[in-house]
Amino acid sequence: MTTADLHAPEKPSGLRVLFVNRMAGLERGGGETFDLEISRHLAAGGARVAFLTGAPLLGPAPLPVEGARVLHTPWLRWFPWDKVRGGWRVRQVEFEWFEWRAARWAARHADEYDVIQVCELPNFVYWLKGRGVKTPVVMRLTAPNYYDPRGGVKLADALMASGTTIERLRAGGEAAGGGMPPLVDIPNSVDAELFKPGASDFRAQQGIGDDELVVLYVARFQAFKNHALLMEAFAEFARGWPRARLVLVGSGPLRARTEQQAADLGVADRVMFLGEVPYRDLPVVYAAADVKVVSSDYESFCFAALEGMAAELPVLTTDCAWVPRLVEDGAGLVVPAGDAPALAEGLKTLAADPELRRRLGSRGRELVVERHTWPASAGKLAELYRQLLNRS
């Protein structure tokens, strides 16, 4: 079964949609992946899609989005805001600067679009609506603990979320009362035709032997992703498994600290730091791996877990909220969060049992195709747009 076999709702022909996502041109996390992928599938269905995104105050966007309108604002890329006391305030100032400029631009061009789709940015919505813009605004919430000092979330015309975010919002009654907009579940998904098992020349290019076990982690180097835990677990595992590599994909303020930890633990020569890898180049990395690991303290969803499942990799995850839910039907192993010895034992279990890896990986692929494909999610989002336009 392929994604082409799945039935999606009516195609979004003719819709003009502006996606506002500051980080799409700067870093790639779950929110950016969602917007870029679902916009691509909306466009495939006939929608006319545009992007408004961010770039550093000086210089081009590190990850340019084709055809996007780019706003230059301060970006302290390597400032460890999640590790410094009060550091979140610096990050908030960065975002507010972008939100203010983006609201002014979008207000001037609002009549060019039928819908404005924004990845959080509640201040953007507050300032945009304050300018009298009538174009429907749909806000995607990536986490339930969003910061909204001006009440911009309540001014959106609709909210969308998935995973633990929508569960917690509904459990707290935020979608039903307090003047909150309608809340819709639009599932996160993966391109199962792009991420799939197959041939890969990654090992040959990187000098990795066919008999080596490759453990892959795709994540930003931020505190909650807990690379430190994974490094400790891998070092313990590697002492009894000399033919193993750990491949880390991503960037972030804690990369240098993680590199130093690898050296201190004596495994620097067995850990590969690939940095940011273009999205379209990621499948060959997944196809070369044996195990997909998630060492996070918390995940409201986790696109990287879906990518690994689509590539038929067994998932070894901490009990980090949503990822265990993704793999609970036989696609992976779950160990306690923050427990390095347990994570090391999980690696040993998978390394020693190729048949277990094959069985878990095969089930993961089945679950992705059944539950998490972009055409279905894009169709559901297009239907939300149509409902908003009919009401307006």
Q: What is the pLDDT of residues 122-142, one digit of tens each?
A: 999 999 999 999 999 999 998
Q: What is the DSSP string of 174-188?
A: TTTSTTPPPEEE---
Q: CA 150, 155, 156, 161 torsion: positive or negative? A: positive
Q: 90: which 2 tokens?
A: 């610096």
Residues 209 and 174 reside in one and the same domain: no
DSSP 8-state class, residue 334: E
**CA 210, CA 201: separation in Å to the nearest integer?**
11
**CA 270, CA 231: separation in Å to the nearest integer?**
11
Pairing of strands 158-161, 183-185: parallel
Range of the domain at 70: 3-189+372-387
- Residue 49 belongs to some domain of the structure: yes
Residues 115 and 167 reside in one and the same domain: yes
Beta sheet of 271-275, edge-to-edge order: 271-275, 244-249, 213-218, 291-294, 315-318, 332-335
214: three-class secondary structure by DSSP: strand
- Residue 244 belongs to some domain of the structure: yes
Given pLDDT bands bounded at 50, 70 and 90, which one contains residue 359?
very high
Q: 355: which 2 tokens?
A: 């048949």
**CA 317, CA 144: separation in Å to the nearest integer?**
21
Q: Is the pLDDT of residue 101 over 50?
A: yes
**CA 155, CA 179: separation in Å to the nearest integer?**
9
Q: What is the pLDDT of residue 3?
A: 39
191: three-class secondary structure by DSSP: coil
Residues 105 and 38 reside in one and the same domain: yes
Residues 176 and 131 reside in one and the same domain: yes
Summarize the confidence of residues 222-239 as an average pLDDT.
97
On the CB side of 75, CA atoms within 13 Å amount to 22
- Residue 292 belongs to some domain of the structure: yes
**Residue 362 is which amino acid?**
S
Residues 171 and 242 reside in one and the same domain: no
Q: What is the pLDDT of residues 74-96, one digit of tens each?
A: 998 778 777 788 887 888 999 99
- Residue 197 belongs to some domain of the structure: no
- Residue 196 belongs to some domain of the structure: no
Based on the structure, what is the number of domains in the chain? Answer: 2
Residues 236 and 380 reside in one and the same domain: no
Summarize the confidence of residues 300-321 as an average pLDDT.
95
Q: What is the pLDDT of residue 10?
A: 52
Residues 14 and 35 reside in one and the same domain: yes
Query: Percent of the chain beyond pLDDT 70?
Result: 95
Summarize the confidence of residues 361-390 as an average pLDDT.
94
Q: What is the pLDDT of residue 29?
A: 81
How much helix, strand and coil, in percent to the nearest 5, is found in the chain? 45, 15, 40
Find the CATH number of the domain harbouring 133.
3.40.50.2000
- Residue 101 belongs to some domain of the structure: yes
Residues 131 and 239 reside in one and the same domain: no
Residues 162 and 263 reside in one and the same domain: no
- What is the enclosing helix (H) or strand (E) of 19? strand 16-21
Residues 158 and 254 reside in one and the same domain: no
**CA 293, CA 217: separation in Å to the nearest integer?**
5
Contacts of 247 (CB under 8 A, 6+ apart): 214, 215, 216, 217, 271, 272, 274, 285, 289
Residues 223 and 131 reside in one and the same domain: no
Residues 102 and 45 reside in one and the same domain: yes
Given pLDDT bands bounded at 50, 70 and 90, which one contains residue 7?
very low
Q: What is the pLDDT of residue 88?
A: 79
